[in-house]
Structure 1
Amino acid sequence: MANEKNIGTPAEEEIEIITLTDENGEDMDFEFLDLVEYEGKRYAVLLPPVEDVEGEDENEDEEVLILQVEDDGNEENESYVFVDDDDILTAVFDIFKEKFKDEFDFSEE
């Protein structure tokens, strides 16, 4: 997916989970990592939660999902929109990386 980047997760942290509903009405849980402002717009940096699957390395690199936050001024009516512009995705991820450079082990693939 164009709006995913790889990061290694930090050892311990408080985890905030948000649930998003897709176009088919199915709920999906994501770990909320940060809200980044870029060029007057807000972008959520999300991580699918690590599933405890036997035999898988929990510290394996994860891909973040960057979505634009759209709202009508009421926080309860926020919606999250896919970002198709690779320049915006790169800029938002660069801001996120700089902010959390001491907390995550970033790698680009």
Structure 2
Amino acid sequence: MSDELTPEMMEETAPDLLTLEDEDGQECTFEVVDATEVKGTRYLAVVPYVEDPANLNDDAELIIMRVGTDDEGEYMDIVDDDEELLEVGHVFEERLRAMFDIDDSELES
């Protein structure tokens, strides 16, 4: 079975929330929008979680996180390498366009 999320799976489930602690010890909660594997590495596309739909921000920044493992277990890093970010970002862009049926003509120039 594939680990990739299908549009049907996304519609049928409650938000997949992920709470992480930043460098300053503050907890940040994100909603996982999509997950996939690129060249053997697992990635998550997340947005900051907003509990009240009235406070949703149409300009919310999509954050791409790399999932890795070490001696202590699983960890996540924000992808900050430009080449890796472009490659993985393109994969997520195509997946999200299909998942949410986004047409280029709907996008602002």
TM-score range for the pair, normalised by the shorter chain length:
0.5 to 0.7
2:58 to 51, 56, 60: 60
Q: What is the root-mean-square deviation of aligned Cα atoms in Å? A: 3.2
| 1:66-81 matched pairs, under 5 angstroms | 66-72=64-70, 77-81=73-77
Q: What secondary structure does 1:101 align onto?
A: helix
Q: Which residue of 1 aligns with 2:95?
A: 99
1:51 deviates by 5.7
95-104 or 31-40, larger mean C-alpha shift: 95-104
Give the gaps of 5 or more residues in structure 2: 1-12
Q: Which structure shows the bigger proportion of residues in strand conformation? A: 1
The verdict on how the C-alpha distance between 1:49 and 1:108 changes in structure 2, with shifts beyond 3 A counting, is farther
Alignment identity in percent?
34
Q: Which structure shows the bigger proportion of residues in helix conformation? A: 2
Q: State the aligned residue count.
A: 96
> C-alpha deviations, 1:3-61, integer Å up to 9, x for none?
xxxxxxxxxx731111001122211100011222112211111110236497x6x3622
TM-score, normalised to structure 1, is 0.66
